Structure 1
């Protein structure tokens, strides 16, 4: 399932390419025909992400809410605008660093190409006619460009958003619906804090108090989007290991300093994920090790998908178990 960094990156793609433009909307598969008709012909005015949810605003106070779920993905095609500095730093498309954003510009010499094909676009600067898939893996490689625009829909496209120069196709989402502002506020109001929207003391306090008042295991609480927005299976495992926290400890028994550390560490890792497009969770790597980690997911995480392998710290075999119907990876020694 796409985690918070992916949804923020996709939203910034819409900020860069769609906001300010009149959008034609359709539903090639037919399942969203009525919703598409409501936003068709309106100018996109806003694009926001809260955790794993994204909201696209249109003239007339109409909003499109999308939750990608386990299988959802956006495909962009056309003259995709990209920011040269961000693209040169991470080798992929989607993250833009427009004026007024909070992300520092990374080192433009730090180009690292992922061996799994995650760096889908290598040209930078000017728009080019191409295809780009944006989901959790962002693996879709660009081809030889487009022969025609807009391209024919491929697969079961729930909704197509189209401007004069670019289209975005959505497939396989868990949620895709048109809302009014009050309904948007109701959805957002149920979500926990997102440190990319608010990393101040009030958000940290809200997260901390929620954790410390319940007997639910901390490993489940971090996946509860009503407690904290955006954390998925990868970040859950890595955050708990970095905090040396047993995932089975009831929230109310977790030391408060551990809870606050989890919040601040999540804010840090989320920013790294948005900047690089990769869930880099290892710190203090030398340049060679850093490049290896950015190039291969096998070298990027402490415990995730390392079941049966020795812990990078203590040598104990990493355990895989099920928690909340999801796979949990942890070290029974370091996190005892």
Structure 2
């Protein structure tokens, strides 16, 4: 599932390419046809994101809510528009560019009050300038839940997924099964600051770069088109720092990776 930096990167791209002008909106697949007809020809006022949720704000107080889920993706193209291929839920066409959305978990038109209701259920997003890390700390500092689960709870912290969860805990030597309330404020402040920096790098580069330059060597990444990670998807491989085999378990239905020596 795409992590928060992907949605913020999309929001910036859509803001640059479509905002401030009328947008043609269609649904070649047909599942979004009624909603698309309400939007077609309206001005896209702005695009932004909160965690893993993308918002397209149109004139007339209509907001498109997109959650990519596991399989959703946008495909971009330049005019002239290509013939629709596959199951395109939503097609947006601007003055010079277009984009096709396929396979999202959610693609719906909401009113601003419903957007506010969704955002009210989300924790602070490290990529938003209005984020308040105190809101997350107030929950973490009182919780017996493992920090590895709390970081993935979107009502505690929005936008963090499996990769950032595994890597930020490794970078700070924190075992994922430590209870949230066992962290001190200094540890939380360091985690938050690191997430802000790492996720901003992800927005700029379009990839999650989590390994310090001095450690970025040796065994290649888990996939050919991905930067190296410290522990994510490296179960049984040697830790890049201490050589201990990376451990793996399942926590609340998601794969969990850590180094038993570096994260005692």
Structure 1 residues 220-275: Cα deviation after superposition (integer angstroms, max 9, x where no partner): 11011111111011111001101111111111122332222111110110111111
Distance 2:227 2:158 in 1: 26
Distance 2:130 2:244 in 1: 35
The answer to whether the Cα contact below 8 Å between 2:27 and 2:90 also exists between their aligned partners in 1 is yes
Superposition pairs for residues 245-324 of structure 1, below 5 Å?
245-285=174-214, 300-324=228-252
1:234 equivalenced with 2:163 (yes/no): yes
Q: Secondary structure at the match of 2:43?
A: strand
Superposition pairs for residues 53-202 of structure 1, below 5 Å?
53-78=53-78, 149-198=80-129
The answer to whether the Cα contact below 8 Å between 1:207 and 1:263 also exists between their aligned partners in 2 is no
Q: Secondary structure at the match of 1:322?
A: strand
**Which structure 1 segments of 5+ residues have no match?**
80-148
Distance 1:14 1:199 in 2: 21
**Which structure 2 segments of 5+ residues have no match?**
none
Structure 1 residues 26-74: Cα deviation after superposition (integer angstroms, max 9, x where no partner): 1111111121112111010010011111100111111101010111000
Other-structure match for 2:255: 327
1:206 equivalenced with 2:135 (yes/no): yes
Change in 2 beyond 3 A, CA 1:307/1:199: farther
Distance 1:269 1:15 in 2: 22
Residue 318 of structure 1: how far off its partner (Å): 0.3
Distance 1:199 1:41 in 2: 31
Residue 296 of structure 1: how far off its partner (Å): 5.7
Residue 317 of structure 1: how far off its partner (Å): 0.2
Change in 2 beyond 3 A, CA 1:221/1:26: same
| 4+ residue runs over 4 A deviation | 295-299
Q: Secondary structure at the match of 1:234?
A: helix
Deviates more, 1:230-239 or 1:24-33: 24-33
Distance 1:178 1:199 in 2: 24
Distance 1:285 1:334 in 2: 17
The answer to whether the Cα contact below 8 Å between 1:46 and 1:57 also exists between their aligned partners in 2 is yes
**Which of 144, 150, 162 is residue 221 of structure 1 equivalent to?**
150
Change in 2 beyond 3 A, CA 1:317/1:199: farther
Distance 1:299 1:154 in 2: 31
Structure 1 residues 65-97: Cα deviation after superposition (integer angstroms, max 9, x where no partner): 101011100011115xxxxxxxxxxxxxxxxxx
